[in-house]
Amino acid sequence: MGFPRQRPRRLRRTPALRRMVRETALSVDDLVLPLFVREGKGERRRIPSMPGCFQLSADELLKEADRAAEAGIPAIILFGIPAAKDAQASGAHDPDGVVQRAVRTVKERLPDLVVIADVCLCEYTDHGHCGLVVERPDGTREVDNDATLELLARTAVSLAAAGADVVAPSAMMDGQVEAVRTALDEAGHQAVAIMAYSAKYASAFYGPFRDAAESPPQFGDRRAYQMDPPNAREALREIELDIEEGADIVMVKPALAYLDVFSRARDAFDVPIAAYNVSGEYAMLKAASANGWLDETQAVLEVLTSIKRAGADMILTYHALEAAAALRG
């Protein structure tokens, strides 16, 4: 019995051979580090459901930004925990808000580090929803899409004025990208890019983030405006609409349960695609490694490589610092 002349195993025999034929190469340049900023000084509050992650006051956040820059990570994304919340999310667009001040602090110290600012209302509303809530005549409450757009636009402008390089509307309101792009341009911030949370699914994997950002909904859930997990074709429609409205980067969120969506989006669109390796995905690996069930570094690199292989150009991940250390050897 003869053997085939083509034997793929020949190219797997040594580390150098494997590197030479590797189809997907994960790089530090692919990583974005999410950080949570709160009021105060010297504050570094542990997030129990996200081992290794903290709520940070601006001075402590600056230390993490320094670590990111030293590791070669090109960007961070900021989420705010204000001292007070209200129904109008007034802290979101306050020029002196917690994130606005953090952006200024980081850009003064690290002008070359890309600072992305999340644009949503859930961290700032007392009800925990991503937009303004109205009560209908029948007593039901729901998020008012169009009324929310104005606040998202004001928030984006305030963050751009503080020095953000990229704003990231994440509320999943119809028309949010157009509203933000128009407001930025009218305010003279034409150079500020938009990274749109285009296909943000109503996922169970956000649980630890809601602890970190102190933003769980106080009634109902977010399924009326976030995407239904069984849908993939709808994600492509959402992405297409955001591109038409002016998005420079589009995002699919979460990552691991939606790799098929990344693949479809990569085939359909020639724009940068971001992936958010979300808090629940992070917490799962941390828990498994803490129990000795898997090698954490190997698992992290395998997961992040799978996301890139599926089509993502950049990956927002809480593993960014440890992944950068592993990649740099």
Nearest to 101 by CA among 41, 181, 30: 41
Alpha-carbon separation of residue 32 from 80, 142, 224, 289 (angstroms)? 17, 33, 29, 22
Among residues 41, 63, 107, 200, the one annotated as catalytic is 200
Q: Are 248 and 195 in contact (CB under 8 A)?
A: yes
- First-residue to last-residue Cα distance in the chain: 45
Task: List, in sequence order, every residue forming a beta bridge with 135; answer none if it has no partner.
Answer: 141
Burial call 90-114: b when 16+ CB within 10 Å, e when fewer: bbbbbeebbbbbbbbbbbeebeebb
| 63 in catalytic set | no
Residue 253 falls in the annotated catalytic set? yes
The Cα 30–Cα 24 span in angstroms is 12
Per-residue b or e along 143-168, where b marks 16 or more CB atoms closer than 10 Å to that residue's CB:
bebeebbebbbbbbbbbbbbbbbbbb
Catalytic residue among 85, 107, 253, 286: 253
Amino acid present at 113: L
Q: In this structure, what DSSP letter does residue 233 have?
A: H
C-alpha dihedral (276, 279, 281, 285), degrees to nearest 10: 130
Question: Where in the sequence numbering do the catalytic residues fall?
Answer: 200, 253
